[in-house]
Copies of this chain bind each other. A is one copy, B any other.
Amino acid sequence: MTDPTKPRTDPRILRTRQLLKDAFIDLMQEMDIEKISVNKIAERATINRVTFYLHYRDIPDMMEKMADEMVEEWQEVLNKGVYDQATDREIHWLRLVSLLEHIAEHAKFYKVILASKRTPVIFTDRLKRLLVDAITTRIESQGNDSYLVRAGIQKDIAIWYGSSALIGTIVSWLRSDMRYTPQFLAKQFALLVSNYGRDEE
């Protein structure tokens, strides 16, 4: 987890950045994003405004970096599970469950970042790209006799469709205050894609 090649970051930097990010999430809960200024973030974080600029070029840059971190976390979550003698299908299901659990654990963050009225699309876009890559390698590995090909469905369109459905459903789920458990929702996904999921084993 800790990279020994990098010389280990100054704790003051970590502290400042965390305070700034927390303050930002806080403010996002209270007001629309256009009303958030560097001023307010710094004030809420009890950090001098000038210090903000030592870490981020501006607010969009800050969001960009937060998005990077979010993607990294998803990658960790999706790779950490060790599923020894499980079928491919089980693995995918378990991964989805841990992803949904991760989101539920950090619901405050994700609700604000993905599901508030004026969020820019970068956050969902990043995650979608991650899923597109994951689904792509999975579909490519099936070769040309998959369900998709047999049904006359274009691969790229199926990937657009599936990744959008996944992200979008997660956002709606967040907006509903996670009305279903991660397990239940994952099962529902499995049912919804079962059409072309049939030969993915």
Could you list which residues of chain A lie within 8 angstroms of chain B, going by C-beta atoms? 32-34, 58-60, 117-122, 124-125, 128, 151-154, 156-158, 160-165, 167-169, 171-173, 176, 180, 185, 188-189, 191-192, 194-195
Contacts and interface: CB of A to CB of B under 8 A. Distances in A.
A33 B33 CA distance: 12
B34 A161 contact: no
A32 B168 CA distance: 24
Given A117-B122, A119-B121, A121-B117, A192 B60 contact: no
B120 A153 contact: no
A130 to B, nearest CB: 14
Contact of A192 (B158, B171, B189): B158
Given A117-B125, A128-B168, A154-B180, 19 more contacts: A34-B59, A117-B122, A118-B121, A119-B121, A120-B120, A151-B191, A151-B194, A156-B176, A157-B169, A157-B185, A160-B169, A161-B165, A161-B189, A161-B192, A163-B168, A164-B169, A164-B172, A165-B165, A168-B168
* Chain A contact residues: helix, strand, loop or mixed: helix
A188 B168 CA distance: 19
Contact of A169 (B120, B124, B161, B171): B161
Nearest to A173: B160
A101 to B, nearest CB: 17
Contacts of A192: 153, 157-158, 161
Contact of A168 (B33, B167, B172): B167
A151 B160 CA distance: 24
Given A168-B163, A185-B157, A118 B128 contact: no
Contacts of A33: 120
Contacts of A118: 60, 120-122
